[in-house]
């Protein structure tokens, strides 16, 4: 580390400020030799259009991590407002049924054979292009094999609550 580098902000101060960022809510699914796993993820970003790449950040303590590593394939389903229960199941806090249980919900099969959320806002099916560790998380960059558009209104997460978008009065 640079001897002149300033110490980082306390992680609770980082987390409470970052909690004010409004994000979409996705369920990342993977399937293959290491089994089927799903996880609710807000850390999703477009990286590049040509080639088409997206990234997801996954806590290295997550049980989904080794499955993502071994399977080498994942899908990102951007949830709609009607899909909130998927977000609750795959963050381990379902109102009904067991945490992380695929049987709680309806799925459709993607071009890659991965389970996709039915009636999602948009879905990206990926093959892992690269992964790298950063702090507590692993960044998976996926090469997008298939992209699907839905017509669901996007679900948003901000300040520890699920929300929906309303149009700005200037529009
Ligand atoms: C709205 C929301 C967004 C989340 N985003 C991420 C994320 O980007 N990456 C991640 O690894 N976990 C994320 N999580 C956490 C996981 O979905 C899951 O809750 C956690 O791994 C379960 O372990 P815990 O109960 O030990 O916290 C998010 C959870 C929620 C509710």
How far is Cα 157 from Cα 101, in angstroms, rounded to an integer? 22
| pLDDT, position 1 | 59
pLDDT, tens only, 56-72: 999 999 999 999 999 99
Mean per-residue pLDDT, 122-142:
98
3-state secondary structure of 95: coil
Residue 126, pLDDT > 70, answer: yes
Contacts of 169 (CB under 8 A, 6+ apart): none
Tell whether omega for the bond before 51 is within 30 degrees of 0, i.e. cis: yes
Ligand 1 mean position, distance from CA 8 (Å):
23
How far is Cα 99 from Cα 56, in angstroms, rounded to an integer? 21
Ligand 1 mean position, distance from CA 27 (Å):
10
| pLDDT, position 92 | 97
Hey, what are 170's tokens? 């200037």
Map tokens 């088409």 to a residue.
52
DSSP designation for 21: S
Ligand 1 mean position, distance from CA 168 (Å):
29
| pLDDT, position 2 | 64
| pLDDT, position 145 | 98
| pLDDT, position 171 | 85
pLDDT, tens only, 19-64: 999 999 999 999 999 999 999 999 999 999 999 999 999 999 999 9
| pLDDT, position 146 | 98
Mean per-residue pLDDT, 77-81:
98
pLDDT, tens only, 82-121: 999 999 999 999 999 999 999 999 999 999 999 999 999 9
Residues with CB under 6 A from ligand 1: 25, 39-43, 57-59, 62, 91-92, 157
Spell out the domains of the chain, with CATH numbers in brackets. Answer: 24-164 (2.30.110.10)
């Amino acid at each position: 580390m640079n001897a002149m580098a300033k110490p980082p902000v306390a992680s609770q101060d980082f987390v409470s400020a970052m909690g004010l960022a409004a994000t979409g809510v996705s369920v990342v699914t993977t399937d293959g030799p290491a089994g089927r796993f799903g996880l609710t993820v807000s850390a999703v970003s477009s990286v590049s259009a040509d080639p088409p790449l997206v990234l997801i950040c996954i806590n290295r303590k997550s049980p989904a991590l080794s499955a993502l590593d071994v399977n080498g394939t994942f899908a990102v389903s951007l949830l709609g407002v009607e899909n909130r229960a998927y977000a609750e199941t795959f963050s381990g806090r379902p109102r009904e049924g067991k945490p992380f249980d695929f049987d709680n919900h309806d799925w459709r099969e993607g071009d890659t054979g991965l389970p996709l959320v039915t009636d999602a806002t948009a879905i990206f099916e990926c093959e892992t292009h690269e992964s790298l560790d950063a702090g507590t998380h692993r960044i998976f960059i996926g090469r997008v094999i298939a992209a699907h558009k839905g017509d669901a209104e996007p679900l948003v997460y901000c300040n520890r609550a699920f929300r929906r978008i309303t149009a700005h009065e200037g529009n």
